[in-house]
Amino acid sequence: MTPKDVIKLAKERGAKFVDLRFIDLPGLWQHFSIPVRELTEELFADGIGFDGSSIRGFQQIHESDMLLILDPATAAMDPFTAVPTLVLICNVMDPVTRQMYTRDPRYIAQKAEAYLKSTAIADTSFWGPELEFFFFDDIRFDQSYQHGYYFIDSEAGFWNSGKDEKPNLGYKPRYKQGYFPVPPMDKFQDIRSDMVLALESVGVLVEVHHHEVSTAGQTEVDMRYGPLTKMADSVLWYKYCAKNTARKHGKTATFMPKPIFQDNGSGMHVHQSLWKGGKNIFWELGGYGDISSSALYYIGGLLKHAPALCALIAPTTNSYRRLVPGYEAPINLVYSQRNRSACARIPVYSKSEGAKRIEFRTPDPSCNPYLAFSAMLMAGIDGIQKKIHPGKPIDKDLYELEPEEAKGIKTLPGSLEEVLDALEADHEFLLKGDVFTQDAIDTWIDYKRKNEVDPIRLRPHPWEFALYFDI
C-alpha cells in the first residue's frame, strides 16, 4: 500500500482522525492522533515530531526531538473508537541525522530480517506466537510506605465457588482444569469470538480460540503465522484488541505471566521456521522429528543462549513466578518432539513441509515482541553458523525424572536479576549485522535493573509478614 492508497482508504472509510502508533522499549504501544486532513503524502516523506524524552527507554531531555515515520503498509481502521479512526504503525527517526533510531524495537526487528537475508541461510523467518492471558472482573493493587496488596476477582474463579452471588450458578473451572470444557463452564466464548472479529477486521488472521488451563478466565487466541516484523505488529494488535474487548464487556485483561498463586501462568510459546526460495529449511524427512541439521543447530543456538535470551523473552520479575517446576512451565534446557516439559519442542502433528517448525516455550507475553523475536532469530542463526549441537533429545516427562538423572539437565535461571547478568555476559550474537547495538542492550539492562529489579528487591513482600512478623 502506498501513501496515496492510505489517503484513499481513509476517505473511503470515512476516517475523521489518524492514530499514529509506535512502541516504547519495554513493549507498550504509544500513540497520538491527528485530524485526517493532516494525512498527506508529504507527511509520509517528512515524518511528524514528538517528545522522545517522555518515552520509556528513549532520549534524554536535552535531545528529546524525534520523528515518527509512518508505515503505509500497516493502515487499518480501529475497531473500537466511536469516531472513525485510521491507525498507522510508525518507525522512529532521529531528526538531526535522518537515521532510523537504534533503540526503536521495530527497527531492530527490521534489521534482524535484513541480517537473515544477508547470511544466505534463509530469506524469510516465520513466527507463530501463542499468547495466553486472563480476563478478570476486578483488579485492585496499591503499595505505600505502610501497606502493600493486590486483590483479583473473576466470576469464573474457583475461589468463588462458595460465594453467595444471589444466585451462584456454579460452573467455575477448577484450579488447573480450565483446558477446555464447553460453556457454561467456559464463560468466555462470546468475548473471545468478539475479540477474534476485531483482530480479523484489522487484518490479523486467527486460527483458533479457547479457554486455557487456569481457572478465572485464562484465554488463548492463536494467530496465523507470519514474517517477523509483521507478526510483532500483530502481537501489539492482539494485546490492543484483548484489552479493549475486555473493557467493552465490563472486564479487564492482563498479560502478566503469573497473576494467580498456585495455578498455571500465561506463556507465549513461539513457533518459528526459516525458509529459502520457498522451501522450509527446517524440514527433512527421516530424521528425528523430521527436522534438518539446520533446525537442530538452530535449537542448539536457542538453548546455548537461553539464559541471556530470557532477559528479552521473559523480561519481568513476574516472569520467574511462572518459570518454576510443576505448572507446565518450560524450565529445562533440552529439546524433544511432542514433550511439552522441554524448552524447545518439535511438533509432530504433521509430516508436511509447511507444518515443520520449532516451538520455543520459554517466552511469555510480557515481552516486547520485536525484541523477543529478533533475539531468538539471532540466537538460532548463531547456532547454525557455529553448528551448535543441542545434544540428545529427551522424550520423557522431565518433571518426573529420578534425582540422579535430573542432575544432568540444565535449567533456566530463576530471576530477572540473573538473566540480566547473563545478557550482560553473553550478547555478542545479538550485535551481528548491527541488529542490536551495544547502546540498545546497555539501555535495556539499565532500565530493567533500575525500574523493575531494584523496586521489587527493596519492598517487603506481604507473605514475609506471615513468615517473620512473630520472629
Is residue 270 within 8 Å of residue 372, measured between CB atoms?
yes
Tell whether the model's pLDDT for residue 432 goes beyond 70.
yes
Distances in whole angstroms, Cα of residue 43 to Cα of each of 7, 32, 35, 38, 85: 11, 15, 13, 8, 17
Residue 7 lies in a domain: yes
Tens of pLDDT, residues 127-169: 999 999 999 999 999 999 999 999 999 999 999 999 999 999 9
Question: Which CATH number fits the domain that encloses residue 90?
Answer: 3.10.20.70
pLDDT of residue 469: 93
- Using DSSP's 3-state secondary structure scheme, residue 267 falls into coil
Report the alpha-carbon distance of residue 411 to residue 307 in Å, rounded: 9
CATH code for position 301: 3.30.590.10
pLDDT tier for residue 63 given thresholds of 50, 70 and 90: confident
pLDDT at residue 378 above 90?
Answer: yes
148 and 283 fall within a common domain: yes
pLDDT(407) > 80: no
Q: Is 427 assigned a catalytic role?
A: no
Query: 84 with 206, same domain?
Result: no
In a domain, 111, yes or no: no
103 close to 57: Cβ distance less than 8 angstroms: yes
What share of the chain in percent tops pLDDT 90?
A: 90
Whole-structure pTM value: 0.96
Q: Has residue 92 been placed in a domain?
A: yes
The pLDDT value given to residue 278 = 96
Q: Please identify which residue in the block is written with the cell numbers 519442542.
A: 345
Active-site residue 269, yes or no? yes
Residue 359's SS3 state is strand
Active-site pick, 211, 269, 322, 357? 269
Nearest to 448 by CA among 422, 412, 410, 411: 422
Residue 412: what pLDDT?
Answer: 93
- Told to judge if 222 belongs to the known catalytic residues of this protein, a careful annotator would answer no
H helix runs in 206-324, sequence order: 228-248, 293-304, 306-313, 319-322
- Catalytic entry in 24, 137, 290, 359: 359
Q: Alpha-carbon distance 133 to 266, whole Å?
A: 6
Q: Respond yes or no: is residue 51 known to be catalytic.
A: yes
Q: Are 307 and 449 in the same domain?
A: yes
Nearest to 134 by CA among 234, 266, 316, 326: 266
Q: 307 with 419, same domain?
A: yes
Asked if pLDDT for residue 248 goes beyond 70, the answer is yes
**CA-wise closest residue to 104 among 232, 273, 292:** 232
Q: For the segment 293-323, what is each residue's pLDDT rounded down to a tens digit?
A: 999 999 999 999 999 999 999 999 999 999 9
- Above 90 in pLDDT, residue 340? no
Of the candidates 12, 30, 121, 23, the one whose C-alpha atom is nearest the C-alpha of residue 368 is 23
Confidence at 59, pLDDT banded by 50, 70, 90: confident
* Residue 107 is assigned to a structural domain of this protein: no
129 and 97 within one domain: no
**Same domain flag for 180 and 38:** no
CA-based end-to-end distance of the chain = 67
Catalytic residue among 46, 51, 397, 442: 51
Q: Residue 117 falls within a domain, yes or no?
A: no
CA atoms 238, 244, 248, 253: torsion sign: positive
Active site residue 130: yes
pLDDT digit string, tens, across residues 381-398: 999 999 999 999 988 776
Q: SS3 of 92, please?
A: strand
For residue 327, the model assigns a pLDDT of: 66
400 is catalytic: no
- Check whether residue 254 and residue 336 sit in a common domain: yes
User: Which of 49, 69, 101 delimits the end of a domain?
Assistant: 101
Q: Which of 340, 421, 426, 449 is catalytic?
A: 340
Same structural domain for residues 336 and 389?
A: yes
Among residues 71, 113, 132, 186, the one annotated as catalytic is: 132
* Domain span at 162: 124-468
Please state, in angstroms and rounded to a whole number, the distance separating the CA atoms of residues 83 and 393. 54
Euclidean distance between CA atoms 132 and 416, whole angstroms: 20
**What percentage of the chain has pLDDT greater than the value 70?**
97
Task: Please give the full DSSP string across 127-145, using - where no structure is assigned.
Answer: EEEEEEEEEESEEEEEE-S
Compute the average pLDDT of residues 430-454.
98
| 259 vs 279: CA distance, rounded Å | 41
Q: 278 and 220 share a domain?
A: yes
> Of the residues 155, 186, 212, 417, which is catalytic?
212
The one catalytic residue among 19, 71, 113, 130:
130
Q: Are residues 352 and 271 in the same domain?
A: yes
* Identified catalytic residue from 106, 305, 361, 427: 361
Residues 36-50: tens digit of each pLDDT: 999 999 999 999 999
∠ CA 53-238-219, nearest 5°, is 125
Note whether residue 383 is domain-resident.
yes
Residues 150 and 278 in one domain: yes
Q: Count CB-CB contacts under 10 A for residue 453.
A: 17
Question: What does the alpha-carbon distance between residue 319 and residue 322 come to, in Å, rounded to a whole number?
Answer: 5
In a domain, 110, yes or no: no
Q: How many domains does the chain have?
A: 2
Task: Identify whether residues 362 and 316 lie together within a single domain.
Answer: yes
Task: Check residue 67 and give its pLDDT.
Answer: 97
For the question of residue 220 being annotated catalytic, the response is yes
pLDDT digits (tens, 9 = 90+) for 117-129: 999 999 999 999 9
Round the average pLDDT of the chain to a whole number and report it: 95
| Residue 452: band (very low, low, confident or very high) from pLDDT cuts 50, 70, 90 | very high
Tell whether 119 is covered by a domain.
no
